[in-house]
Amino acid sequence: MGATRYPQFCALARAAEILGERWTLLIVRELLLGPRRFSDLRERLDGVSPSVLTERLGRIEKIGLVRRSVLPPPAASTVYELTEHGDALRPAVHELIRWGGRFLGPPRRSDRVEPEWMRLALDALARQGPTPARAFLLRVREGTKEALVRVAGGPRGTIVSAGSGSADATLVLDVATLLALASGRLPIAQALANGVIEVSGDPGAVVEFPDLFESVSATAPPSQPRAAARQRQRAGRRP
């Protein structure tokens, strides 16, 4: 376990002991997308020092969330990957993504934005019930970086995967636009009218793209001070 201890016989307390330290949950996020070298993790986790990253990886490896393996030649690199216990965090991470989306807001000036993270975000928003039998290839671009994501609907729900494949239409868009479309905050008609997405293939398929995902509220609950201030203002207006 880490330095944090909760003197409570509670499964949630144990989970908080394991995942509550800084960087640990974001390491899990990266490894949910696939095996990573130490240098890959350092590059994605802005601000983490080599010593802290080494300590966090060593701790969750000892607990049994990650393991090290060696990629076959020609790469022959040592990578970290999730174990069965680590991958079992996927549903919980999906729920945290959905909940955190309420508070995401626009990117801050210093925020890193990675197109590949959208694969995990779309997986969290994917509709579980039957969805339109449409497939889309997404070219998610942010600056010079691009991720290729395939999204396909069907009777078993929406499947999100990396890489190319057959598709009814290809959409080229940035991270913010994709999140707004998938979460239901931006109507597809408005996105097309504003020219924030490029579409090739079947234009009729694109209108069904939002139906592959669950809508998520984008409004965070107001802070108590602001809510209280509004209540006082309303009280002051009463006769």
Phi and psi at residue 47, in whole multiples of 5°?
100, -10
The pLDDT of residue 227 is 44
| pTM of the full structure | 0.85
Please choose, from the candidates 23, 10, 24, the residue with its C-alpha nearest in 3D space to the C-alpha of residue 62: 24
Please choose, from the candidates 193, 186, 182, the residue with its C-alpha nearest in 3D space to the C-alpha of residue 131: 182
Higher per-residue confidence, 216 vs 171: 171
The pLDDT of residue 176 is 94
Average pLDDT over residues 55-73: 94
| Sign of the Cα pseudo-torsion (198, 204, 207, 213, in order) | negative
- Residue 82: strand pairing partners: 66
> Does 233 have pLDDT greater than 80?
no
The pLDDT of residue 228 is 43
Mark 24-62 as b/e (b = at least 16 C-beta within 10 Å): beebbbbbbbebbebebbeebbeebeeeebeebbebbee
User: What is the band of 2 on the pLDDT scale with cuts at 50, 70, 90?
Assistant: low
Query: Is domain 11-88 annotated with CATH 1.10.10.10?
Result: yes
| Sign of the Cα pseudo-torsion (73, 140, 157, 92, in order) | positive
For 161-202, what is each residue's pLDDT tens digit? 998 899 999 999 999 999 999 988 899 999 999 999 999 999
User: What 8-state DSSP symbol labels residue 132?
Assistant: -
* Residue bearing tokens 């006082």: 232
Please choose, from the candidates 159, 174, 170, the residue with its C-alpha nearest in 3D space to the C-alpha of residue 200: 170
Average pLDDT over residues 211-238: 56
Percent of the chain exceeding pLDDT 70 equals: 89
Q: Where do the domains of the chain lie?
A: 11-88, 117-212
Q: What value does the mean pLDDT of the chain take?
A: 89
| Lowest-confidence pick of 72-81, 116-125, 154-163 | 72-81
> Does 37 have pLDDT greater than 80?
yes
The pLDDT of residue 220 is 46
Class of domain 117-212: alpha beta
Higher per-residue confidence, 222 vs 139: 139
The pLDDT of residue 107 is 86
